[in-house]
Amino acid sequence: MKKFQAQPGFVVQAFRFALDPNAAQEQALRSHCGAARAAYNWAVGWVEASWWQRRAEESYGVPEDRLTQWRPWSLPALRKAFNEGKHTCPRFATWWEENSKEAYSTGLANAAAAFDNYAKSKQGKRKGRAVGMPRFKSKRKARLSCRFTTGTIRVDADGRHVTLPRLGRIRTHEPTVKLLDRVRAGTARILSATVRHERGRWFVSFQTEVKRDLVRVTRPDVAVGIDLGVKTLAVMADSTGEIRTVANPGHYDAARKRLRRASRAVSRRQGPDRGTGQQPSKRWEKANAARNKVHHRVANLREDALHKLTTAVAAEYGTVVVEDLNVAGMLRNRRLARRIADAGFGEIRRQLDYKSRQRHATRLMVADRWYPSSKTCSGCGVVKAKLPLYVRTYECDICHLVTDRDDNAALNLAALAAAAVAGTGVAGDQDTAPVVSKPRGADRKTRATRPRRKAEAGRAGGATLPHQRRKETRDRPQAEPLTLW
């Protein structure tokens, strides 16, 4: 599906509201989300069937011009094939009319996007980690979600109900006036709606085109450098020399005692067992719901704290400088992974990105990943060769500056943007290219990892390892006829 492009002066914004559906409406919601999952699995199986059939035919020496044709995975092609066979397919024939067509379109669109990502990753056109072949979604683990793009999608005039195709009128847990007022004034237009089951309840998110005027920041001439950490969530040093420290709330650490108690209660109940088919007891379901409630509360508190922090920063400073942190690599540290995940470094960067562009036109600069912000002296600019993580106080050997490690890093980030700051704070600054600094003394070396001795011995002796034998068995082609369903 093509990404929607907003008109000049308009931005695409989502308004999310919690729902309070009754029993029949919740069953219909689950049915629509299950239909989206079933359509996704059908699309994956339909496309990959031609892949495996071609591999089997090649193993039997079938010429190239007589091989089975590749099946396309574009959204129009998937919709056409699905509509042609849904009346006779045993999987859909008896119940596909119970749900809106948008539910099946959601699954097909997700499958088309998954195949596109896989193809671009194989061709080297997609950044990030390599993407594998799309896999089937499990009924037990798949996240319940469904998107509506056509039909009756509106916020009702009473401000406490929403109307969705085939689902009808559903009451919201909170007032919808913040979107209703914009729709009535003509400054917002609803494009689509997505229902989702998250954190123990149902939500509806309206994607809207909203007319938004950029608000001038409070201090447009000031640049701030933000150094994220575990001990303190953020240390902010601006170009005037003022330093602010934001304490790490530690919501997960504060709730660990309650989580331990709730987890013990769950472990003492009769839970589900897929091996024997044992069903969970009512007491287990009640205890598991209590444990999930603690997790949901932690997630909500973290989300609220991060939104308040990023909103305040984007509304005050004309230029914000952050670091390009390797959060995925930092999470591999088993001693700090829990605290890094609880802090939400990646979420802070994401929120600052869209809030600086769409609300205040704040200039967001990203320092190079190898910029030695902690090793550089904020007083004289000398760079230390090494600075271990356990050293929390920076001591300069040249100018004898003694300061906190995080304060020193934040001051260096603020100074990095001092030369590039124009001091306007207007909309023209939002497209400024990110700062890419030269590494001064940063260690770019990657530690080499030796393979395991057992694997080395297996390769040296020409033996086949167990995981290699399993892969060969799984990839062995099977000559079976290609069917549509």
- Residues tagged active-site: 227, 323, 406
Q: How far is the C-alpha of 312 from the C-alpha of 307, rounded, in Å?
A: 8
Give yes or no for a contact between 171 and 161, defined as CB atoms under 8 angstroms apart: yes
Six token digits for residue 246: 């934001």
Residue of 361, 320, 332 whose CA lies nearest to 216: 361
Mapped onto helix, strand or coil, the DSSP state of residue 364 is strand
Q: How far is the C-alpha of 255 from the C-alpha of 374, rounded, in Å?
A: 32
Give yes or no for a contact between 126 and 117, defined as CB atoms under 8 angstroms apart: yes
Q: How far is the C-alpha of 12 from the C-alpha of 191, rounded, in Å?
A: 9
Give yes or no for a contact between 20 and 176, defined as CB atoms under 8 angstroms apart: no
| Other CB atoms within 10 Å distance of the CB of residue 475 | 9
Q: Encode burial over 250-283: b for 16+ CB neighbours within 10 A, e otherwise.
A: ebbeebeeeeeebeebbeeeebeeeeeeeebeee
Mapped onto helix, strand or coil, the DSSP state of residue 321 is strand
Contacts of 231 (CB under 8 A, 6+ apart): 248, 392, 406
Q: Encode burial over 88-98: b for 16+ CB neighbours within 10 A, e otherwise.
A: eeeebeeebee
